[in-house]
Amino acid sequence: MEWINEFLEGKREKSLLRVLKPAYSKNSGLICFKNKEYIDFSSNDYLGLSGHHKLKNVLKKTADIYGTSVCSSRLLSGDLELHHILEEKIAKFKSKDSALVFNSGYQANLGIISSLCKKGDVIFSDRLNHASIIDGILLSGVKCFRYIHNDINNLEYLLKKERGKYKKGFIITESVFSMDGDSPRLDEIGRLKDKYNCFLMVDEAHATGVFGETGAGLVEEQGVSGSVDLIMGTFGKALGGFGAYLACSENVKQYLVNTCRSFIYSTALPAYVIAVNLAGIDLIRQEPYRRKDLLVNADFFREILEKNGYSVKGASQIIPLMVKDTNKAISIGEELRNKGYWVLPIRPPTVPVGESRVRFSISYYHTKKILENLFNDINEIRKKYDF
């Protein structure tokens, strides 16, 4: 297949070829590659729960009872009482009537959007929405208008111009954007949703466990759960587990159980994963200091970068250091790894051309001392590279 060889060679020539890097161990904010240990700034384990002793104990006990797999989809023999308990807890957690568990965030967004949106409908999607949202929209085949990132005026312009031409209308946004670490005004989007008769879907993958009085996310923090029809999120980030969910009405849940192909045709998540997810929700309520310390330290790191003339984005635990030039971002990432930090460059097509960056994913393990040392090392690298 010559075209594959040409693709790979072209990427190699430009130093843009992505390769898999198997880790030997990963625990307590550290990651080990080829016998070298790094402080991990690329993980979404925001609260450090993936290594929590309570989750490990729950995993072992549940696996002893149920085994390693249910070996069936939920519509056959893979449906366990634990799945329903988790869905009830998620619904209550997110202030919705019901919930449905999915095997991953990608499968959730792909299946939810392509099932609910049909020919003749229209979607208004934030320009920086995750690839899983984009692919769900493409699979649905409906007309989509992408509004300027977090720009309420542009969203209303498009709604006013286009909404009346279609049947159902959907507005889709993330609450914390994975590459920029920023957030929209969900109350303003909710106002437009009502004004233009749309459904509102919010992806809370990077906000659940981190924001809100109980850790339920930005929808909770901004007090807009009544305006958001579909709240999607994941267990595999701050909650320390695996899988995803949709919090919604009971009718929407039943509709998806009967139509959503990514749900219907997937082997159900094993019992020990479901039990870990249940325990993760309990832990973010039992140990609120984790998210409070996380956000305090993230603000500290962002502020010292900004005060020293660095270009950063966001207002969350995700802090992108803007470099712009792709090759320079790659080099800076390499320099930081040489100093013991597992930090990866983000470049096109994940981000637009000219917006390459080094992305820091701050976690509960990153103390102020670690962040101060990181800042000093960034300053040293700055002497070599102009950024």
Query: 305 and 319 in contact (C-beta within 8 Å)?
Result: yes
Tell me, yes or no, if 26 is annotated catalytic: no
From the list 178, 183, 262, 363, the catalytic residue is 178
Active-site residue flag, 154: no
Let me know if 149 is a catalytic residue.
no
Ramachandran sector of residue 221 (left: φ over 0; alpha: ψ -120 to 50; beta: rest): alpha
Contact in structure between 231 and 252 (CB atoms under 8 Å): no
**Rounded to the nearest 10 degrees, what angle do helices 81-93 and 271-286 cross at?**
30
From 52, 83, 96, 206, active-site residue: 206
Q: Which of 52, 96, 130, 253 is catalytic?
A: 130
Q: Is 83 known to be catalytic?
A: no
What residues contact residue 252 under an 8 Å CB cut-off, 6+ apart?
98, 116, 229, 230, 246
Backbone dihedral angles phi then psi of residue 3, each to the nearest 5 degrees: -65, -30
> Which residues, listed in sequence order, are joined to residue 341 by a DSSP beta bridge?
39
The distance from CA 68 to its chain's CA centroid, rounded to whole angstroms, is 26
CA–CA separation, 322 and 150 (whole Å): 19
Whether residue 251 lies in the annotated active site? no
Please pick, among 174, 221, 229, 335, the residue that the annotation labels catalytic. Answer: 174
Residues 364, 293, 286, 210: what is their CA dihedral angle, to the nearest 10 degrees? -70
Give dist(CA 155, CA 145) in Å, integer: 9
Residue 206 annotated to the active site: yes
Kindly report the length of the chain: 387
- Catalytic: which of 203, 204, 220, 335? 203
Distance CA 381, CA 51 (A): 32
* CA nearest neighbour of 96 among 251, 284, 229, 283: 229
CA 150/CA 173 separation, integer angstroms: 9
Q: Which of 237, 253, 313, 366 is catalytic?
A: 237
Whether 121 is catalytic is: no
Catalytic residue among 44, 73, 249, 327: 44
Burial 160-174 (b: 16+ CB within 10 A, else e): eeebeeeeebbbbbb
Tell the burial category of 116 from Cβ atoms under 10 Å away from its Cβ (0-12, 13-18, 19+): buried
351: tokens are 């981000």
Residues with a known catalytic role:
44, 130, 174, 178, 203, 206, 237
